[in-house]
Structure 1
Amino acid sequence: MDTFRDFALTPFVSRCIVAGREVIARLDSADSALYAKHSLGAGGDVSIGADLEAQKIFVRHLLPIAHIDSEESGFIPSSQGISDIILLDPLDGSDNFLSHIPYYGASVALCDAHRICKEAVVIDFCAQRLIARSGDTILEYSLRDSSPRAIKPYVATHSHTPKCGIFEKAYSNPHIAARLFANGLKFRSLGASALSFSLAHKVSFMLFVGSIREYDSKAGLYLCEGLYINQSRDFVLISKDKQIFATIMQLLTQGKD
């Protein structure tokens, strides 16, 4: 049995691949409408044209297989008589997109009726890379080739000697940033949490401090199962390194006892 072939043909992953390529082409068009501000989205942020255009593409491809709960428009019912729900952030890192910083993508989590994740996809629109998990298999795909036959999946790589971790929201938590620095823990703050979750297998740690929405975290956390994870109301910490995980946990809880 060809595991890669079988995995690539799951309806959810296949549709995400097609939608992802279409979104990449649309965002690369440099259409001024992509940068226009619209109304407040369901997730609490003001939507821009790129958010809504990406959502439109994902909805067209994914609504036939599940209801969609999108950060931009909230619940979008499917007419197919199904119970699955897709939690969607169609453009994770909108501020990066607006600022021409090449780090933004999408978070797509296929869940059952109880919102328990069954499959997950995170797409990096700039690197044109998709990471998917179905069951116990995590794979990466290049989206650079237009033909589906050109997809070359491979097992997600694990860097053995990462130099840095990722600390999202570091700008609003300078006291924690100072503690990490004092303990020799280098980090970068990249501005797209779902993409940063998808890198947790490769970097030394991924830390998000603050309240995080399901739209941003559902798919990424599913990709990270098997790593050391602590998710609380105040932060999410992930690392493949037990010692680094324990050290940062201690830094995060300093002064709370």
Structure 2
Amino acid sequence: MFDYNSFTKAVIQANKELYGYINTHMTQADLQESSQIGFGGDKTLQIDIIAENIFIKYLSSFGDIFSEEIGRVSNNSNIKIIIDPLDGSHNFSSGLEYYGTSVAVKKNDKYIAGYVCNLSTAVLIFREDEEVNKINILSEQYLGFYEIENPNIAIFERAYDYPSLTEKLKENSIKFRSPGAAALSLANARNYKFVLFAGKLREFDIAASLYINQELYIYQNDEFLIITKNYTDFILIKEIIKLF
């Protein structure tokens, strides 16, 4: 049986160590590009490698690691741990405080847990089986979990690549933001009108958030992912995409 309690503690400790490194030990050299191209195809910063090594240290004993930077570490276990060790790397390297980490767990090819941490606020949102929780990784105190009842802002990640679609959203009087960290935005979909993620959909970006929000309305094809809690908004954005 998978030990949720021990794994969650390990995720918290990994995030706490990365948070500490970023805030007390990081140097300008950590923001430089490394010679490595990540498994996801993006250029890798030194801080990406540092973050990845921290997560491997804490989580590799629980199963096989599959990371955005290095790819699959091993293939010996029925537990697969999918990590994005630094979600929102461009935000991070530009000093925009909206970045974090993402961890999803698969057992026998079925997702069983998801964790997304905002490293700017030190808040981890996670789901083990049925319950969704929030915890402060520094104090390790659980936080109140509430939802914005009638959000009026949507999130459209990668909106810059879809000018025609952004025009259609404007025509429908939909206010949106594009903050630039997919896992963070998707994980907090309960507090937005909807979250729309466009472009190449990678498991590293979406797996944890899909598990966390599994009871919400979700639409996914080869290019778009929508998560929303309101059925009317769900139908509206699906129709806009179909017209695009």
Aligned to 1:67: 64
The CA distance in 1 between the partners of 2:105 and 2:4, in whole Å, is 15
Contact 1:91–1:105 (Cα < 8 Å) also in 2:
yes
Q: Tell me which amino acid in the other structure corresponds to 2:33.
A: K
Match of 1:232 among 215, 221, 239: 221
2:132 counterpart of 1:132: no
Counting only pairs closer than 5 Å after superposition, residues 2-41 of structure 1 correspond to structure 2 as: 10-28=5-23, 29-38=25-34, 39-41=36-38
Contact 1:132–1:138 (Cα < 8 Å) also in 2:
yes
Aligned to 1:184: 173
The CA distance in 1 between the partners of 2:152 and 2:223, in whole Å, is 26
Q: Tell me which amino acid in the other structure corresponds to 2:18.
A: V
Q: Secondary structure at the match of 1:72?
A: coil
Q: Secondary structure at the match of 1:195?
A: helix
2:107 counterpart of 1:112: yes
Q: Tell me which amino acid in the other structure corresponds to 2:161.
A: S
The CA distance in 2 between the partners of 1:67 and 1:9, in whole Å, is 16
Aligned Cα RMSD in Å? 1.5
Match of 2:147 among 155, 158, 183: 158
Tell me how far 1:141 sits from its aligned partner: 0.5
Tell me how far 1:155 sits from its aligned partner: 5.4
Q: Deviations over 1:151-195 (max 9, x none)?
A: 222453211121201000100001111111111111100100000
The CA distance in 2 between the partners of 1:196 and 1:164, in whole Å, is 12
2:97 counterpart of 1:89: no
Match of 1:209 among 183, 198, 206: 198
Tell me how far 1:112 sits from its aligned partner: 1.5
TM-score where L is the length of structure 1: 0.90
The CA distance in 2 between the partners of 1:61 and 1:49, in whole Å, is 19
Q: Tell me which amino acid in the other structure corresponds to 1:33.
A: A
The CA distance in 1 between the partners of 2:105 and 2:86, in whole Å, is 17
Aligned-pair identity in percent equals: 32
**Structure 1 runs of 4+ off > 2 angstroms?**
none
Query: How many corresponding residue pairs?
Result: 240
Which ranges in structure 2 are unaligned for 5 or more consecutive residues?
Answer: none
The CA distance in 2 between the partners of 1:154 and 1:232, in whole Å, is 34
The CA distance in 1 between the partners of 2:12 and 2:63, in whole Å, is 16
2:47 counterpart of 1:58: no
Match of 1:241 among 227, 230, 242: 230
Which ranges in structure 1 are unaligned for 5 or more consecutive residues?
Answer: 1-7, 146-150
Q: Deviations over 1:38-64 (max 9, x none)?
A: 110111101101111111110000001
Match of 1:171 among 151, 155, 160: 160
Contact 1:170–1:177 (Cα < 8 Å) also in 2:
yes
